Amino acid sequence: MPRPLKVLVTGANGFIGSALCSLLLQRGYAVRRCIRRTSEDSAPPQPATTVAVGELGPETDWATAVEGIDVVVHLAARVHVLAETATDALAEYRRVNVEGTRSLAAASLRGGVKRMVFLSSAKVHGERSVRPFCESDAPHPEDAYAVSKLEAEEGLKAALAPGQTRWTILRPPLVYGPRVRANFLRLLRTVARGVPLPLGLIDNRRSLIYVGNLVDAIEASIQRDAADGNSWLVSDGEDLPTPELVRRLAGALNRPVRLLPVSVRLLRFAGKLTGKSAAVDRLVDSLQVDSKAIRRDLQWTPPYTVDQGLQETARWFRAQELP
């Protein structure tokens, strides 16, 4: 009987990382969880082991983390935030996302890792789409986070070019599911309170991916040789207008939905007045991705529908926050 693949997961205590570790353990992998420091750790899934590497950057010592590892899945990153506080945001993103990724790739190559799967972002293609983005579209990152993700992709490929470590890059749009944070959690709370939302006249399309679908796609990338040297966009496959997303969330939460017919022009004007133009743009603009390539090349089908993903997210939310 062959031994199980040994997989290192960086960012293992995060939203996506915790879901991935659980899935890999269920499917028989030997999992090593990589986190920044043990004081941040929650109870690890058994029987995973854990290694702490400190802050991510060009000086991170990855040697112990990658020792004996077959596959590295790199999820850890400085994530996108709307209220940026760093004096030089791009420099901070580059230090963690670009140089940290490059140093991990170099350590993986030295350590004999067979494959590295890197989680990038659909935002490398831009913040809005007039048609679904596909892999052949030229990148057009528009903020520091997206720039750093694209540069991290390029740094990873350059670092691995001299050797035998193969790479795969996945570019998801907005990820949702149990333990979600940031904007999606705020939307959940708003819908759960029954607050009227001025979103009734928005006519856009947004691609999403349920965390259960994303980690399944990552596991498919670990397993299949067709993943070698490919960068893919990945999504649930059903793109929703913002009002429809709100309606489905309300249905999953068993809450009434209140959508007010406010014009998009007025929403954008209000965003400028309040300094929240970026948040408004994400509600009213379209951002679609075409995920047919990964489905074709890996023979991959998302195991969950959007409605199933939203129901699971709502179930978690109700258990955490609703009376």
Closest CA to 126 of 274, 281, 235: 281
Alpha-carbon gap, residue 119 to 163, rounded angstroms: 21
Find the catalytic residue in 145, 176, 210, 304.
Answer: 145
Alpha-carbon gap, residue 153 to 55, rounded angstroms: 20
30-36 contacts, C-beta under 8 A, 24 or more apart: 30/3, 30/4, 30/5, 30/6, 31/7, 32/6, 32/7, 32/8, 32/65, 32/69, 33/9, 34/8, 34/9, 34/10, 34/65, 34/76, 35/11, 36/76
Coil/strand/helix, residue 196 = coil
Per the listing, tokens 């945001």 go with: 89
Between the two ends of the chain, the Cα-to-Cα distance in Å is 49
User: What's 225's DSSP letter?
Assistant: G
Alpha-carbon gap, residue 144 to 164, rounded angstroms: 31
User: What's 67's DSSP letter?
Assistant: T
Q: Any catalytic annotation for residue 210?
A: no
Active site residues: 145
